[in-house]
Structure 1
Amino acid sequence: MNTYLQIHPKDNVLVALQDLPAGQQIQFNGSTVQLKQNVPAKHKFPLKDLQPGDSVVMYGVLVGKAVSPIQEGEPITVNNVHHDANAFHEKDGNYQWHQPDVSHWKNRTFNGFHRKDGQVGTRNYWLVIPMVFCENRNVGVIKTAFEKGLGFAPTEVYNEQVNDLVRLYKSGNLDAIKNYEPETITHSSNRNPVFQNIDGIKFLIHEGGCGGTRQDSDALCALLAGYIHHPNVAGATILSLGCQHAQVSILQAALKKLDPEFDKPLLVYEQQTSDSEFRMLSNAIKDTFLALVEANKVERKPAPLSKVVIGLECGGSDGFSGISANPAIGHTSDMLIALGGTSILSEFPELCGVEQELINRCEKEETADKFISIMRAYANSAEAVGSGFDMNPSPGNIKDGLITDAIKSAGAAKKGGNSPVTDVLDYTEYVKRPGLNLLCTPGNDVESTSAEVGSGASVVLFTTGLGTPTGNPIAPVVKLATNSRLAKRMPDIIDIDTGSIISGAKSIEAMGEDILEYVVKVASGEVFTKAEILHQDDFIPWKRGVSL
């Protein structure tokens, strides 16, 4: 196994692939670099002395500037390097892409749920949605009523543990409580015995719909419309209070904008015009049950891989993310796009410093101009409240080698592979064109994943170096570990280990192909992700405005 790596020929730093001790001599390109200090795995050290103001280059781009003298072989840290990135401008030149060989996949299909509008889902869900946070309790009532009765409830092993502790407490045996060791939990996918073709009922509880700007309530309606329009959804039950900003009429208009022929079942109940809360909820439960009977009639049928839309996401990133898992799913994305499919790359704050590369990859100038406009507006809005993209890395990112936003961004962008950018979407815009789509979202894991699915992602590939449990209510989220240590430590949330790229046992391309094979199984319902099995149904709309 190699102990260090130069990611790009232009880079003036090396990445430690394992813990390197002070004094070790690194042989690189005919020169010897002696490490001045211990360099932890995932961290970087320069090949030559750097003076204040000197550039730090990784992935072939500017990722920071030295703010104090740094000796060759000395780790770069937040104390000696600060964020810096190249400026960007209009599209320059014509991008040439060499497609991967996908001849082996040309005739491959997956078994999905075919919708009337031509979309094909990887799951078949019914949604229950509050238009405003005031209805969250009522949604919870419906959730309790349906989940256990229909076989969708999560594993109850933790309830059994609490029952055991209560019994011990009532017997006065406190020592037994202190020494209590629960049995190892075995989770199951809880396949539904009542409706065989329905994967579950999902509840999009949120804290919005009123009290903020009209732009936020409109955006919420647009996001919810994206979920209802999504191929993984058969229909929805809507609970409205009545007086909130997020009116049902706005939601219906957003649905018509997505599909003028929209005809999925939409069951709407408004509390302020109902005889009573009891009557409203009873009717909602009865009508929803009858709708489930109809939704259960849809069965999986073969579909080409071009009907798959993958979201490309990362969270809890580390210094290996841009070397293993991210480029691996980037290759998966390239393969799917070569087959006529679609992928979505989001998290605009984590594209800082690589904007020009993405701009030049845009197929059309107007697409590039839209990306430039959205990026600049987003950066300006962050600076207006005293923040900035340079503040994006979390303490966990920094601890594991991502010490500037540009370092994090350069690695994060690898999720987008090398294919041309066919479209740029603002928040809540739905995918219209096959190929690589750039979607404006924050770097927040759940807000970004929620947005990708709302824009049409039917499977999400989510890379993590530190371990992040993020899931989604309606789209399976495949969790990929950037390193084998994480995969072994957190097997209950990790689906795929890409650490073999770091060890040199597998190439990025081979791993990308393995991931596509896994995606086909997930899309066909043959495999359920760890996030699905754990009922990790995270959903957070992005609140861009202020509270009023």
Structure 2
Amino acid sequence: MNNTTLLLDPSDNVGVALSNLESGQKVSLNKLELEIQEFVAAKHKFAIQDLAAGDDILMYGTIVGEATQAIPKGYPITLGNIQHKTRQYDINLGHFTWTPPDISEWKNKTFNGYIRPDNQVGTANYWLVLPLVFCENTNIKLLQEAFENALGFSSPNPYELHIKKLISGLKSQKYTETVAEKSVKTSSRIFENIDGIRFLTHDLGCGGTRQDSETLCVLLAGYINHPNVAGATVLSLGCQNAQASILLEKLSLIQKGRPKPVIICDQQQEGTTDQLIKKAINETFDGLVEANKVSRQPVPLGKLVVGLECGGSDGFSGISANPTLGRVSDLIVALGGIAILSEFPELCGAEQNLINRCETKALAEKFVHLMETYNAAAKRVGSGFDMNPSPGNIKDGLLTDAIKSCGAAKKGGTAPISDILDYTDYVKTPGLNLLCTPGNDVESTTGLAGSGANIVLFTTGLGTPTGNPICPVIKVSTNHKLTQRMPDIIDFNAGTVISGEDTIETCGDKLLDLIIQVASGEVKTKAEQNKNFDFIPWKRGVSL
């Protein structure tokens, strides 16, 4: 790859700056030679031909904007001279053929996972503790503190120790760790085959619409059914909209084989908080004893269900990290596994390519219906998909939603689309699935896990700590600088594509090697190490 400029498609009329370009600097894109007329920052775009007001801006071989004024060749593309525009799409499927990648290197490889009775395979073994309504959040936290401290899953808060050192300084005393603090650092896990107990809290379950409470129950059912979950303890107040009966009904619709243990503790039936908590502890402990009897076993890579996500995106996302995920997605699909591409506001402008890849017209129609319904809901409150890019996205070169979306869609690789999922739908079809979620990082990763992803690949160019309680989240950086600046949150550096050290193919293969290690429990993601266990259900209101 040229380390200064890039032309993404021969039909494009703008180039990408891979490094800062100074006024007067001569650059070449393929066989085109031109002179930069005004400073262009790395990750931003510049005109490679004279553009008139009203001309389409072309990137990735499609329309990503419209010139609002004349832009001479060699000048930067900015919010001052372009606006959002996308190509009109046709619901009729276009001609599409797929050549799967060579999987000979991978077809006999395995990862060590937890085989569930329904034939799903977990990349971890968790017990889940969750509330049906926000009224139980405090009790969830009581249980969390008790279980994590007693079972060896807790770790000292380094900032608490830092504050204690400051207090010692204020008193002119030297700080020394207490015996209790040292024992926490060296505590061992009681249950060897359990990777953790995960505790969810949220602000739903009552007081909002009945539809939101029902959707919450479907989402929580997906979390309980998840292959990384051995069983669950559910706290209910008793009188809320999100009734335990609704949760169990939704769970029965997606469960296959022997049902997982689900412990329901209803505070209004139990009486005192002490009675509620002790019942939850006693029955959960019995469940943990059983869950600990399951151990990891070798399974084929086709048992991976990979969620594809991006957040804190930059102008390199669609060039390095997202196509790297696309390579991994294609490999997983070719191996018989499942890849799930989410974030529908960030597919705006890439519709025709995705429509053409749908295996049936019915799938294409469902995709378009979900996209248009979602966009219309946003417009009714004065927004729209075109308002998706954040200030950070714009600053780093993603000026329009179409520019952002066409790069984001690269995470889905090139495979046919085998299914379209609405929010909270659980995966059932091998291949590439599209899942309707917001672009909001946590709402989207929450949805991916709820639909059955047992690994999430998350690209970022600006940096974000987002993780998930039950699903390992592997952070993939788009550039070297981010990897060096925020090493505590980045698991994998795809900036090697920008520097020319890797091709998309070699970078994707290296990432798949890391996925196998994470799925086998050999490597903990940075999000898990930092306890970034983020969980935000989507209320189906307007969230981009």
* Fold similarity call, TM over 0.5: yes
Residues 6, 29 of structure 2: 8 Å contact kept: no
Runs of 4+ in 1 over 6 A off after TM superposition: 188-191
Tell me whether 1:238 sits opposite 2:239 in the alignment.
no
Q: Pick from 439, 443, 446 the counterpart of residue 447 of structure 1.
A: 443
Provide the C-alpha distance between the structure 1 equivalents of 2:285 and 2:169, rounded to a whole number of angstroms: 41
Give yes or no for the alignment of 1:59 onto 2:64.
Answer: no
Contact 1:36–1:74, Cα closer than 8 Å, also in 2: yes
- Give the superposition deviation at 1:189: 11
Residue in 1 aligned with 2:386? Answer: 390
* C-alpha contact 1:97 1:419 (8 A) present in aligned 2: yes
Are 1:506 and 2:506 counterparts? Answer: no
Rounded to whole Å, the distance in 1 between the matches of 2:443 and 2:110 is 31
TM-score, length-normalised on structure 2? 0.96
Q: What is aligned with 1:154? A: 155
- 5+ residue gaps, structure 2, are 176-183
- Residues 223-280 of structure 1, C-alpha deviations (whole Å, 9 max, x = no match): 1000000000000000001111111111001100102545111010111112211111
Tell me if structure 1 keeps the 8 A contact 2:5–2:29. Answer: no
2:201 and 2:146 map into 1 onto residues whose CA distance is 16
Deviation at 1:27, TM superposition (A): 2.9
Task: Report the Cα distance in structure 1 between the residues aligned to 2:259 and 2:394, rounded to whole angstroms.
Answer: 48
- 1:29 deviates by 4.8
Q: How does 1:254-269 map to 2 (within 5 A)?
A: 254-259=250-255, 261=257, 263-269=259-265
Q: Distance in 2 between matches of 1:152 and 1:460?
A: 23
Partner of 1:323 in structure 2? 319
Q: Please state how far the C-alpha of 1:168 moved relative to its aligned partner.
A: 1.7
Residue 113 of structure 1 pairs with residue 114 of structure 2: yes
- 8 Å Cα contact 1:62/1:86 also seen in 2: yes
- Structure 2 equivalent of residue 489 of structure 1: 485
CA contact (8 A) 2:200 2:535 kept: yes
8 Å contact from structure 1 (residues 112, 301) kept in 2: yes
1:89-238 paired onto structure 2 within 5 Å: 89-171=90-172, 193-238=189-234
- Is residue 314–residue 462 contact of structure 1 (8 Å, CA) maintained in 2? yes
Q: Deviation string for 1:358-392 (max 9, x for gaps)?
A: 01101111111111111111111111111000000
Displacement of 1:30 in angstroms is: 4.5
Q: Deviation per CA, 1:492-538: give whole Å up to 9, x if none.
A: 10000111100111100011111111111110111111111111100
RMSD of Structure 2 on Structure 1 (CA): 1.7
Q: Mark the runs of 5 or more structure 1 residues left unpaired by the alignment.
A: 178-187
Which digits, 9 at most, give the CA deviation of each residue in 1:126-178, with x for residues without a partner? Answer: 0110001111001000011111111111343222111111112234x9xx99x
Question: What count of residue pairs does the alignment treat as equivalent?
Answer: 533
1:493–1:286 distance in 2 versus 1, CA, 3 Å: same
Shift in CA distance, 190/143, structure 1 to aligned 2, threshold 3 Å:
farther
Q: Which amino acid aligns with 1:335?
A: L
State TM-score, norm by structure 1: 0.95
Q: CA deviation at 1:32?
A: 3.2
- TM-superposed CA distance for 1:24, in Å, is 0.6
Q: State the shift of 1:28 in Å.
A: 3.6
Q: Is 1:308 equivalent to 2:304 in the alignment?
A: yes
Report which stretch shifted further, 217-226 or 92-101: 92-101
Q: What secondary structure sits across from 2:150 in the alignment? A: helix
1:5–1:15 Cα contact (<8 Å) kept: yes
**Structure 2 counterpart of 1:354, one-letter code:** A
Q: Is 1:359 aligned with 2:373? A: no
Return the alpha-carbon distance in structure 1 between the equivalents of residues 136 and 408 of structure 2.
Answer: 37
* Alignment-mate amino acid for residue 282 of structure 2: K
Change (3 A) 1:189 1:216: farther
Encode CA deviations 1:20-47: one digit per residue, 9 max, x unaligned: 1111122345443221211110000011
Q: Which residue of 1 aligns with 2:372?
A: 376
Contact 1:462-1:479 at 8 Å conserved across structures? yes
Matched residues in 2 for 1:483 and 1:53: separation? Answer: 33
